[in-house]
């Protein structure tokens, strides 16, 4: 284990590798002040880089046994505590590289030896390794604002959340979403609908209907919905979202309880008989490939908060379905601050 003892430090980047040849490097970046500690589980080699005014210093050395446990005595501003055998030249360059930068924010980060998991501060951005799209977000710091979600909710007299309506094409997702937002608007609640087709006219206009693009489509909708919920709005996302893992990923980025999954459990034969956009007919004729429910699977939710179904052979009006969702929101306290 490597432990950097307590110091005020500025811009700090660590490269971790399992090989002295620096294969498969993993970068973790920090911007911090009143730095408590950095802990890494058994990295054998690492490079510390501190930058300031265009200068940088990059010593590479093997983690000695003494790094397994280091006390944290008080240190002077701008100085890191290194072992006695750390050369004076290394110390001099390290200190001079940091002296002109202002301290920022403190964090305590744990990284597995493979570098694939980091536990960062509660805002979730410092030292964050974003591998969802094969892209790593580094050198980013979450800037905390004095006006927070709770303040916006108090202003709006409601709690921000995401109502995620999923189901086959033609199941009535968009119709229920519009009915829901209309009823809530009449009650003085601020909502916004993210419709799966509408977002493909702008935000997601660069995406196709291939599996990987569908996953990215849902990821983007989920991230935007999260922002709306953080703003204190009741965001209603209406999208087929056929794959369970993609919906679960959207759930995972929201606080517990703030992702409300609504499953439009309408039989395929009913959806196909409606065919409001003529897409089922095209899919059956082979003119559309990868159409959900025909030649591409739909994975129904296993534990959705709300299930909307037909009453026997009769499908309830969208307003009645919307009222069921509103009853859930009232019971869970989302319609008051």
Among 71, 13, 68, which Cα is nearest to 46's?
13
Q: Element (H or E) spanning 327, and its range?
A: helix 318-331
HEC string of 260-311 equals: EEEEEECCHHHHHHHCCCCHHHHHHCCCCCCCECCCECCCCCCCCCEEEECE
- The token duo for 196 is 């799966």
Question: Phi and psi dihedrals of 61, rounded to 5?
Answer: -155, 165
Of 244, 266, 261, 253, give the one whose Cα is nearest residue 304.
261
What is the length of the chain?
A: 337
Told to judge if 241 belongs to the known catalytic residues of this protein, a careful annotator would answer yes
CA dist., res. 111 & res. 118, Å (int):
5
Distance separating alpha carbons of residues 184 and 321, to the nearest angstrom:
13
Among the listed residues 125, 241, 252, 304, the single catalytic one is 241
Active site residues: 241
């Amino acid at each position: 284990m490597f432990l950097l003892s307590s110091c005020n430090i500025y811009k700090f980047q660590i490269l971790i590798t399992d090989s002295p040849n620096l294969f498969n490097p993993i970068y973790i970046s920090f911007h911090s002040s009143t730095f408590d500690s950095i802990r890494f589980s058994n990295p054998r080699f690492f490079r510390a880089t501190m930058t300031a005014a265009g200068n940088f210093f990059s010593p590479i050395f093997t983690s000695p046994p003494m790094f397994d446990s280091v006390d944290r005595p008080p240190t002077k501003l701008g100085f890191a505590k290194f072992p006695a055998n750390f050369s004076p030249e290394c110390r001099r360059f390290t200190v001079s590289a940091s002296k002109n930068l202002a301290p920022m924010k403190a964090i305590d980060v744990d990284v597995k030896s493979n570098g694939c998991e980091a536990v960062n501060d509660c805002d979730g951005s410092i030292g964050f390794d974003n591998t969802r799209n094969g892209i790593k977000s580094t050198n980013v710091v979450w800037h905390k604002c004095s006006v927070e979600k709770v303040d916006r909710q108090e202003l709006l007299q409601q709690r921000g959340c995401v109502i995620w309506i999923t189901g086959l094409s033609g199941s009535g997702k968009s119709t229920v979403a519009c009915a829901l937002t209309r009823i809530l608007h009449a009650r003085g609640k601020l909502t916004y609908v993210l419709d799966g087709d509408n977002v493909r006219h702008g935000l997601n206009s660069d995406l196709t209907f291939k599996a990987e693009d569908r996953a990215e489509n849902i990821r983007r909708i989920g991230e935007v919905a999260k922002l709306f919920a953080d703003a204190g709005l009741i965001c209603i996302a209406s999208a087929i979202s056929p794959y369970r893992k993609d919906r679960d990923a959207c759930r995972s980025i929201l606080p517990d309880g703030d992702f409300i999954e609504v499953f439009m459990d309408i039989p395929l034969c009913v959806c196909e008989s409606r065919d409001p956009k003529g897409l089922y007919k095209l899919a059956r004729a082979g003119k559309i490939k990868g159409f959900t429910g025909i030649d591409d699977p739909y994975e129904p939710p296993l534990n959705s908060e709300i299930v909307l179904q037909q009453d026997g052979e009769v499908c309830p009006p969208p307003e009645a379905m919307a009222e069921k969702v509103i009853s859930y929101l009232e019971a869970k306290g989302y319609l008051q601050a």
